[in-house]
Each structure stands twice: as C-alpha cells, then as structure tokens.
Amino acid sequence: MRSIVLLLLLTPLAGCDGRPDSGSGPRHGGRYQGIGTYPAGTLWSRQQADRSRDPASATIADDEQVIVVVDSSTGEVRQCGNLSGYCIRTNPWSGAAAPARLTAHAADVAREAEQTRSPEMTDAANDLNAAADAGAARGR
C-alpha cells in the first residue's frame, strides 16, 4: 500500500523534464510567410525595372509566375518574379510605394493588341460568326 501511494506521488514529477511546450500548430519556418503564386500578367512585364548588365540574366518579361509573401515582422508584402527576382514592396505602415511605374498602361496594351490583329483574321472571324448566326436561325 505504501509503495502505491509513493508511486502516485512521484508520477507527476516524472513528466517534468524541463522542455518547453511544442505548441499545437505547425512549426513556423521563418520570417516570410507565403501568400500564393500568381501568373505574371501583361502589365508585370511593362514595369520600369533596372536591367541587369548580364545579357543572359532573366528580365521581368521572362517571369512566368509572381510569388507573393508577407514579412511577418514588418507586415510588408512583396511580389517577386520567379525568374528575374524583381520585387515590388508594399508596407501598409510606411509611405506609399504605389503606384507602380509602368512603361505602358492596360489601355495602351489593349490598343497595341487590337492594332496587331490582321484584317484577314478579323474578316475570317466575322465570317464564322455570321455563319454560326445563320445556322442558329435556320435551326429555329
């Protein structure tokens, strides 16, 4: 009986090995936390970015993805090209970093795309649309 009481009294002490709690969540891997990756849009390649002196280096026009992370210490959000490494930084607690400087705006890019379409392609597309409309009208 005495050994059982002694065992019950000493059991709680056996669990005290001095290690801190490990926590229930996943281990934090560093200062930057990933928000996501997104396709580099047309305007990403139209930013005014410093060019590398090495002609073999990737430029922002080569970027296929934009990696977005947040600095857990400062709250700064970074958007970085996957190949060029060029980053845009936005910190809600500092001065305005926006708007980004562009070499062409969305309206300019759309106008360029419209101008580069060949008239033959436009005529062919119009002919296809007219034929589809006529076929739909006959089917009624």
The better pLDDT of the pair 4, 84 is held by 84
Q: Say whether the peptide bond before residue 20 is cis (omega within 30 degrees of 0).
A: no
SS3 71: strand
105 inside domain: yes
Average pLDDT rounded to a whole number, residues 52-67: 91
pTM: 0.56
Quick one: how many helices (H) and strands (E) in the chain? Answer: 3, 4
125 pLDDT more than 60:
no
SS3 14: helix
pLDDT of residue 45: 87
Do residues 47 and 86 touch, judged by C-beta distance below 8 A? yes
53 inside domain: yes
128 inside domain: no
- The sign of the dihedral angle between the CA atoms of 15, 21, 24, 27 is negative
Q: For residue 38, what are the contacts with CB-CB under 8 A and spacing of at least 6? A: 65, 66, 68
Do residues 92 and 75 touch, judged by C-beta distance below 8 A? yes
* Percentage of the chain exceeding pLDDT 90: 22
138 inside domain: no
Do residues 101 and 47 touch, judged by C-beta distance below 8 A? yes
Of the pLDDT bands very low, low, confident and very high (cuts 50, 70, 90), residue 117 is confident
97 inside domain: yes
Lowest mean pLDDT among 37-41, 78-82, 120-124: 120-124
126 inside domain: no
**In total, how many domains does the chain have?**
1
69: containing domain: 30-117
- Write the pLDDT tens digit of every residue in 33-42: 999 999 998 8
